[in-house]
Amino acid sequence: MAYLVLARKYRPQNFAEVIGQEPVVQTLQNAITSGKIGHAYLFSGPRGVGKTTVARIFAKAVNCDKGPSAEPCGKCSICAEIAAGTALDVLEIDGASNRGIEEIRTLRENVKFAPAYARYKIYIIDEVHQVTDAGFNALLKTLEEPPEQVIFIFATTEPQKIPETILSRCQRYNFRLITIEQIEKQLSAITKKEKIDISREALLLVSQAAEGSMRDAQSILDQVISFIGPGQKIDEAKVRSILGFTGQGLLLKFGQAILANQPQETLDLVKEAQASGLNLHQLTKDLVEHFRNLLIAKISSTPQELINLSQGSIKALKDQAANSREDALLNYIEKASDLENQMKYTDQPQIVLEIGLVKLSQPYLSVDEILQRLETLEQKLSGTPIRSGPDSAPAPGVSPGRKIIENDRGLKVDSSLPLAKQWKVILEETGKQKPVLAVSLQEARPSNLQGNILTLEFGQQAKFQKSTLERAENLKLAEEIASRVFNAKIRIKSVFGTGMEEIPAALEEGIEIEETEVILPNGDDLKQVATGPTTAANDPMVQKVLDIFEGEIMPKTKDQGRNA
């Protein structure tokens, strides 16, 4: 008898043998048991996960001589014919070669005839997404109201290409990828039956190479068995050699060179990989997996549950990840993934790989580190002393280091900025909420932040501005804004300071007015000597000052003129 490949020899013959599709199987069994059998089903999912196999088992279950049954007997004539592919009432159609309107019209005509001897006539159309739009349109009416004893089962890897009008007439079942553990367990059972001596590490490699497809895994295992020859033990090294996988030792060398920022070493390792006959595209995929494993070894307390490697290999990963940072590993995974995508479409894989590895080997700096360096450089260029040592420690309650804060008005503040810059932010934010208070604060100078007390100095001429700040509602608002900027509970202390006799900021524009008195709400006054013909009552700048300080213009008396 001719050799039967493993994928055909060990194809599931009943629902119990289906691996990894428990939700689909359970739903179909319940439908059969309850007698709620639909007239159209759509099985969608990746290749090699059991779509056509489940369709055949379903056909046996509903047509079994002892059914309909949740588990076909597999022994009656109809079960045997369906398994052999010779049943007249179960037709498997290739959607790629029967995609036109003529083929669909023929199918429509045949649907009218009753089953030859089975309970249901079942049409299994594989890769149904390749049917043309005209073919789907011809099928619509029949699919919506087929004869009572006809069931359609569509299988596809690309459900998005099927018209919505077809999808809405089908019960849809999504098949998922099979896990590496499930594939490895099934392959282990097969190799025991076939009396093949193979290590668990080798089976894990085969399972990993299958990428979730049981059929692919069985085909790869067939390939490995053929290459090794009868009677020989199959180990991990041989499987890596056959499949072109990168050895764990070489991956650790690549990881060490990249983490140590040694581009020359990575180029030497590429040369070593080529000399070993490794596939360079596979090498980039393995590098992505390696950095992923390093990240898991770094952050997980049970990496053995997430990494399909031996205990020795996991220990080596932990050792390599110990001196690396999580953000750096995430960066390496992202860049290695981009490199792997580039390798798919290049005609010069060696050059693309070498350039990518040189980039990966450059020192990694986080955004915070880059900004900190820029700030240090800015301070050096401006001549501002760079604080260091004990005096540079942040005030209690203030978050150390760089921290970006976003307040309730969307203002983003860096709590590591110098005090003067933070004061500017406080003024800007106060101006948005209460301009009158902001004008008063412009006359102050932040002299000290000790503990959680922010000291503001006012000049002797700024009595009104100081008293404006000290009003309860204004002081509360100023402290709230300062607390958001410094990310701490700030209290403000206002004092009269020295060297604060400059012209008030609100009057720096040099307003030309007649000799007038601006009478302020608390009795203080601001006097200016006229230098031109403009009248105070009509001058827009004067009106602006009056609005800001909530004052009014009073006529000058003779006594005031003599005292002025």
User: How high is the mean pLDDT of the chain?
Assistant: 80
Q: Which helix (H) or strand (E) holds 528?
A: strand 525-528
Lowest-pLDDT range of 107-111, 365-369, 424-428: 365-369
Sheet strands side by side (includes 491-496):
444-450, 453-458, 491-496
Structurally, the chain folds into a number of domains equal to 5
Same-domain check for residues 513 and 490:
no
Report the amino acid identity of residue 401.
G
Same-domain check for residues 287 and 233:
no
Of 328, 360, 392, the one marking the end of a domain is: 360
Instruction: Give me the pLDDT at residue 358, please.
Output: 93
List phi, psi (to 5°) of 417. Answer: -65, 155
Instruction: Give me the pLDDT at residue 536, please.
Output: 53
Q: How confident is the model at residue 401 (pLDDT cuts 50, 70, 90)?
A: very low
Q: Is 27 within a domain?
A: yes
Between 330 and 141, the higher pLDDT residue: 330
Of 468, 496, 524, the one marking the end of a domain is: 496
Cα 342–256–290 angle (5° rounding)?
50
Instruction: Give me the pLDDT at residue 537, please.
Output: 56
Instruction: Give me the pLDDT at residue 511, please.
Output: 34
Q: Is 369 within a domain?
A: no
- The pLDDT of residue 542 is above 60: no
Query: Residue 348: which CATH number?
Result: 1.20.272.10
Same-domain check for residues 198 and 159:
no
Same-domain check for residues 238 and 262:
no
Between 375 and 414, the higher pLDDT residue: 375
Residues with Cβ within 8 Å of residue 419, at least 6 apart in sequence: 446, 449
User: DSSP 3-state assignment of 454?
Assistant: strand
Same-domain check for residues 227 and 314:
no
Same-domain check for residues 416 and 557:
no
- The pLDDT of residue 482 is above 60: yes
Query: What's the distance, CA 151 to chain centroid?
Result: 41
Three-state secondary structure string covering 146-206: CCCCEEEEEEECCHHHCCHHHHCCCEEEECCCCCHHHHHHHHHHHHHHCCCCECHHHHHHH
Same-domain check for residues 211 and 268:
no
Q: Which domain holds residue 323?
A: 248-360
* Rounded Cα–Cα distance for residues 13 and 83 (Å): 7
Q: Is 541 within a domain?
A: yes
Q: Are 310 and 205 in contact (CB under 8 A)?
A: no
* Rounded Cα–Cα distance for residues 30 and 43 (Å): 17
* Rounded Cα–Cα distance for residues 61 and 469 (Å): 85
Instruction: Give me the pLDDT at residue 190, please.
Output: 93
Q: Is 87 within a domain?
A: yes
Q: Is 205 within a domain?
A: yes
Per-residue pLDDT of 344-379, as tens digits, reads 888 899 999 999 999 999 888 777 777 777 777 777
Q: Is 373 within a domain?
A: no
Q: Is 385 within a domain?
A: no
* Cβ-based neighbour number of residue 385 at 10 Å: 7
Q: Which helix (H) or strand (E) holds 552?
A: strand 552-554
Instruction: Give me the pLDDT at residue 262, please.
Output: 92
Instruction: Give me the pLDDT at residue 19, please.
Output: 92
Same-domain check for residues 328 and 464:
no
* Rounded Cα–Cα distance for residues 233 and 86 (Å): 39
* Rounded Cα–Cα distance for residues 54 and 337 (Å): 35
- The pLDDT of residue 562 is above 60: no
Q: Which of 254, 209, 211 is nearest to 236 (CA)?
A: 209
Q: What percent of the chain has pLDDT over 70?
A: 81
Same-domain check for residues 91 and 139:
yes
Residue 3's alpha-carbon distances to 8, 226, 229, 466, in angstroms, are 10, 12, 15, 98
* 35-40 average pLDDT score: 90
- Which token pair is 1? 């008898």
Q: Which of 56, 88, 84 is nearest to 72 (CA)?
A: 56
Query: Residue 238: which CATH number?
Result: 1.10.8.60
Query: Residue 105: which CATH number?
Result: 3.40.50.300
- The pLDDT of residue 531 is above 80: no
Same-domain check for residues 550 and 445:
no
Q: Are 240 and 313 in contact (CB under 8 A)?
A: no
- The pLDDT of residue 74 is above 70: yes
Same-domain check for residues 16 and 138:
yes
* Rounded Cα–Cα distance for residues 308 and 183 (Å): 12
**DSSP per residue over 286-344, as a string?**
HHHHHHHHHHHHHH-S-GGGT--S-HHHHHHHHHHHTTS-HHHHHHHHHHHHHHHHHHH
Q: Is 313 within a domain?
A: yes
Residue 30 half-sphere exposure, CB side, CA atoms within 13 Å?
Answer: 6
Query: Residue 434: which CATH number?
Result: 3.30.300.180
Per-residue pLDDT of 292-325, as tens digits, reads 999 999 999 888 888 877 788 888 899 999 888 8
Instruction: Give me the pLDDT at residue 341, please.
Output: 92
* Rounded Cα–Cα distance for residues 549 and 531 (Å): 22
Of 243, 276, 298, the one marking the end of a domain is: 243
User: DSSP 3-state assignment of 554?
Assistant: strand
- In sequence order, the β-bridge partners of residue 456 are 446, 494
* Rounded Cα–Cα distance for residues 406 and 500 (Å): 33
Instruction: Give me the pLDDT at residue 393, please.
Output: 44
* Rounded Cα–Cα distance for residues 358 and 339 (Å): 11
Q: How confident is the model at residue 506 (pLDDT cuts 50, 70, 90)?
A: very low
Same-domain check for residues 253 and 233:
no
Q: How confident is the model at residue 26 (pLDDT cuts 50, 70, 90)?
A: very high
* Cβ-based neighbour number of residue 407 at 10 Å: 15
